[in-house]
Structure 1
Amino acid sequence: MATSYADSAQARAWDREFDEFGRPRPSHKDLYHDYGALQAQAQVREEQRAIEAVRKKALAIRINAAVDQIAEFWGLEVKKQ
């Protein structure tokens, strides 16, 4: 019994000290992770990376085609792939 009283008194003292510094107390939702939401966010990020990779590949093809057209216009040697 004495230990639980000491623990709760210590906890109250810690809470008072924490509040004196103006720090908000963390709520229970801040203390625990929602692993389902974290997995969903990871999946969305992975999909975005895949979309970005496809976009970059298409952009590289367009840029190479434009460079080839410019080289052809100026009579430079064009590499055929």
Structure 2
Amino acid sequence: MATSYADSAQAREWDRRYDDWGRPRAPKAEDFHDYEAAALKRTQLQAEREAQEKLELQARAKRVAAAVVAYGEFWGLK
């Protein structure tokens, strides 16, 4: 805890000195997190994953049906 307090106090002091020199501190884009964009990306990835799983499930059902037909033909169950 002492380290984090000292670091934040030191950062505030440097910010105050920087402002005193008349140099504006412009915020950088990487200083901020865009929560809306992250949420949108998460929902898009989830939708893509669900679509992929649906396609895989359909393909798996076709493979199982083909295997059952082949099994029946092999044993002469038709």
What interval of TM-score do these two structures reach, taking the shorter chain for normalisation?
0.5 to 0.7
Change (3 A) 1:37 1:76: farther
CA distance in 2, matches of 1:31, 1:76: 70
The answer for the alignment partner of 1:55 in structure 2 is 55
> 1:6-25 counterparts in 2 under 5 A?
7=14, 8=17
Seq. identity, %:
13
SS of residue paired to 2:33: coil
Offset at residue 60 of structure 1 (A) = 1.5
Give the structure-2-normalised TM-score.
0.57
Name the Cα RMSD after superposition: 2.6
Moved over 6 A (4+): none
- State the shift of 1:53 in Å: 2.0
Higher RCO (CA 8 Å, separation ≥ 6 residues) = 1
Aligned residues: 56
Unaligned runs of 5+ in 2: 1-12, 19-26
Q: Which residue of the partner structure matches residue 16 of structure 1?
A: none
Aligned pairs for 1:23-42 within 5 A:
28-42=28-42
* Residue 20 (structure 1) aligns with: none
